[in-house]
Amino acid sequence: MNELHIDKCQILFGDKGIASLDEYLEKNAENITKIIILGDTNSFEHALVPLVERLEHLGEYEMIEIDPGEENKNIDTCTQLWETLAEIGADRRSLLINVGGGVVCDMGGYVASCYMRGIRFINIPTTLLSQVDASVGGKTGVDLGQLKNIVGLFTLPEMVVVSSLFLSTLPQREILSGFAEMIKHGLIMSEKHWKELSSQADFSLEKIEKLVYDSVKIKYDVVLQDPHEKGIRKALNFGHTIGHAIEGHLMNTQNAISHGHAVAVGMVSEVWLSTKICGLDEHFATSFKEYIKEMYPLANITEDDLPDVMSLMAHDKKNTERGINFSLLKNIGEVSIDHYIPEETIKEAIRFYIS
């Protein structure tokens, strides 16, 4: 598995990646005044020890622990983090190491990039979702109330280390959440990746490292072509237009589902839309629905939920004055961006999942 580069940012994999981080710490020791490790309760419980015991050149470090969960990914937590950084004397030559899922990496990256107009940071993603998705692309930020990721920056870490070492403690719900983003990468860009993923009878951690690399590489290739989402990067939104709305609708209810689970549901509906709009094979829509329904618990969506889901979709960041924007599939592994679809057709697509 080769290392990948976006500008100065290295994306490194497996044990070799952890060894490179250790080398980085050794090489920059003179140049780093303070190392601060940021994590949440779960990532510290499960990932901190395996990481630090492999880093001979880490030396002394401070720890900042936050409560887990999307509800803490907000500007109030950022303010607390900036205050803590100031209290412990972090300066421009300090290094922040984010150890955690997408919440920790997104928020830690944003906090580091604003503190003293930007200090260096490194991401160690510890969930499958953050490894295959949030690890690449330079998006950092926080939520503002119900508005997801509305405050943030494009900014790159020094380094990202992606290792399966941290995945063995992940609950199944979180594994499935990340797996949905991997499926998406296959469907939009690589039939081969899709076939490899869908032929996994059991998603074993032994095989996962190579699959994670392939998935990261797909996102990496897209991001390199279009870092600021003016064109082809929109391909990564496949499954997300309907998925985000369903995720938001169920959020804070007893039927809440993970981000990836919502994307899986969204992909079923958007595969159906792809058959109507882009000529994707209709048999695939049916078999894909069965595949997702077997793997993921049924999302609790009924006809009665459609008005609210549609109203949430109308507020999606990706929309323009032309309407609700979709990335769809022409074929498996071939995406087509910028489709604007009438509301009634979108409802039909959601009904296809429900039925």
Ligand X SMILES: NC(=O)c1ccc[n+]([C@@H]2O[C@H](COP(=O)([O-])OP(=O)(O)OC[C@H]3O[C@@H](n4cnc5c(N)ncnc54)[C@H](O)[C@@H]3O)[C@@H](O)[C@H]2O)c1
Residues that bind ligand X (CB under 6 A): 40, 42-43, 46-47, 68-70, 73, 100-104, 106, 126-127, 129-130, 133-134, 137, 139, 148-149, 166, 169-170, 174, 177, 259
How many Å apart are CA 77 and CA 347, to the nearest integer?
A: 37
Q: Which is nearer to ligand X, 65 or 348 (CB)?
A: 65
For the record, the structure tokens of 96 come out as 């922040």
Nearest distance in Å: CB 340, ligand X: 24
What is the smallest separation between the CB atom of 51 and ligand X, expressed in angstroms? 10
Strand pairing report for 9-13 and 159-162: parallel
Instruction: Provide the minimum distance between the beta carbon of 292 and ligand X in the complex, in angstroms, as a whole number.
Output: 18
Taking the least distance from each CB to ligand X, the nearer of 167 and 341 is: 167
At 350, the amino acid letter reads I
Q: Which is nearer to ligand X, 265 or 285 (CB)?
A: 265
Strand partners, 139: 154
Q: Assign residue 42 a region: left if phi > 0, alpha if psi is -120 to 50, beta otherwise?
A: alpha
| Both structure tokens of 80 | 């607390």
Nearer to ligand X, 133 or 305 (CB): 133
3-class secondary structure, 38 = strand
CB-nearer residue toward ligand X: 8 or 27: 8
Smallest gap from residue 22 Cβ to ligand X (A): 20
Nearest approach, Cβ of residue 347 and ligand X (Å): 26
Whole-number minimum distance, CB 177 to ligand X, in Å?
5
Q: Is 119 helix (H, G, I), strand (E, B) or coil?
A: coil
Nearer to ligand X, 8 or 330 (CB): 8
Beta carbon nearer to ligand X, 126 or 275: 126
Phi/psi for 332 (5° steps) reads -70, 125
CA of 276: how far to CAs of 5, 186, 227, 281, in Å? 38, 21, 30, 9
For the CB of residue 152, give the shortest distance to ligand X in the complex, in Å: 8
Could you give the dihedral angle defined by the CA atoms of residues 286, 288, 293 and 298, in that order, rounded to the nearest 10 degrees?
-80
Q: Using CA atoms, how far apart are residues 139 and 102, in angstroms rounded to an integer? A: 10
Residue showing the smallest CB distance to ligand X in the complex? 102
